[in-house]
């Protein structure tokens, strides 16, 4: 099995174009660990993991700092 970067440019997330020893093209789905002779189409499936931006990370960090501590004293 030989793998090369995809020349189709529009493979769904998790798919890779590969070639047999005889040069026949096939496709590998790394998410399901399956192969196919047919070109996969973009269909429902696992989406790529979301990327966190710096703004989101800063916002999340600020939100964590403002949260009250876990111990709250009350008088009875």
Q: What is the pLDDT of residue 57?
A: 61
* CATH code, domain with 3: 2.20.70.10
Question: In terms of residue numbers, what domain contains 24?
Answer: 1-40
Residue 49 forms part of a structural domain: no
Residue 63 forms part of a structural domain: no
Residue 24 forms part of a structural domain: yes
Q: Specify the pTM.
A: 0.47
What span, in angstroms and rounded, lies between the C-alpha atoms of 54 and 61?
Answer: 10
Residue 17 forms part of a structural domain: yes
Residue 61 forms part of a structural domain: no
For 26-32, the CB contacts below 8 A with 24+ separation are 28/3
Summarize pLDDT for 9-67 with one digit per residue, the tens: 689 999 999 999 999 999 999 999 999 999 998 655 566 677 777 666 666 665 555 55
């Amino acid at each position: 099995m030989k793998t090369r970067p995809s020349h189709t440019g529009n493979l769904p997330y998790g798919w890779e174009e590969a070639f047999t020893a005889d040069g026949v093209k096939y496709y590998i789905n790394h998410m399901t660990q399956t192969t196919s002779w047919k070109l996969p189409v973009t269909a429902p499936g696992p989406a790529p993991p979301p990327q966190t931006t710096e703004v989101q990370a800063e916002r999340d960090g600020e939100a964590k700092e403002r949260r009250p501590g876990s111990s709250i004293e009350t008088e009875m």
